[in-house]
Amino acid sequence: MMGEVREVSFDVRGEFITQMAKEWFFVENRGYDKVMELLLSCMEGTEQSEKELKRLAEDILLGRAALVGSTRDNTYHMEVYEPDEQPEQPEWFNVFIKMSDLMSKLKDTEKELQKIQGWYAVAMEYVPEYKRNDVLKETDQPIESRYGNSQLSDFMERMMDEEEHTTEDYGWLEPNGTFHEVEWGRHQEWATEYVKENFPEEYKEISMQSNTGTGLIGEGDWLVEKGWVLLHSPSQGIAQPTRNPVKRYTKAQQEFLYDYYQERNREKEANAVYEEE
């Protein structure tokens, strides 16, 4: 015996979509791309190009247009409140686009920092009580400061930096001072490609050691061992140098790093390059 068949219908109301898009963008800071994705998904079925639809979607956020009506009674449509000859987006709207995307990235960063704080709390549970004070002294400052506020402030500082720099923020620095700009999150991938292309024999040896669990972990480690410096930041903040602890910076590396940090108004980090023993 077949069960009862029920029909479920849905109603999309334009006013609701318009209001939700504005709240996502101006209040919740979900990011410009996500808001555009929402609006464009609700504007399908026309002969207009994606560029034209995106302009109309921006007009919704600017208050120049609105989705209205209901799909249930076939009144769903867009109302445009001004002529087509509209000026470019006002400067304040461009500022909101940048701020919205920045806050969206910041939320993602906060999630990662919360994970780190959680791992730290779990690890501390395994530390004997009589040793916890020593561990806290070793960390030098509270976990919230070490993995929270400092990284968040670095992230905010970098994202709000609008000055033009001679180099990008992240990459690999050779002993001779040559800097290879690398997109955030791709430093290990870049190292693998570089070693494979320029040092094929070493690449085979590293791959063999990685497969057997002995020796170096990867090509990035090999570069650091050879005196390269990695400029990177897990939280997308101001880059910190990672180098072989038993090797000193070369003169060329010192000159590059000093200029790199001075350009970013980080005098303390710039001076530290020359303060090592």
pLDDT tens by residue, 221-241: 889 989 999 998 876 778 889
Predicted model pTM: 0.46
Q: Which residues of the chain have pLDDT under 50?
A: 138-149, 277
CA dihedral 156, 162, 167, 173 (to 10 degrees): -10
- What integer pLDDT is reported at residue 43 of this predicted model? 87
- What integer pLDDT is reported at residue 129 of this predicted model? 61
- What integer pLDDT is reported at residue 119 of this predicted model? 57
- What integer pLDDT is reported at residue 146 of this predicted model? 43
- What integer pLDDT is reported at residue 244 of this predicted model? 86
Instruction: Say how far apart CA 185 and CA 182 lie, in whole Å.
Output: 8
- What integer pLDDT is reported at residue 49 of this predicted model? 87
- What integer pLDDT is reported at residue 259 of this predicted model? 92
- What integer pLDDT is reported at residue 140 of this predicted model? 45
Instruction: Say how far apart CA 242 and CA 27 lie, in whole Å.
Output: 38
DSSP string, 242-272: E--TTSPPPHHHHHHHHHHHHHTT-HHHHHH
- Do the Cβ atoms of 43 and 97 come closer than 8 Å? no
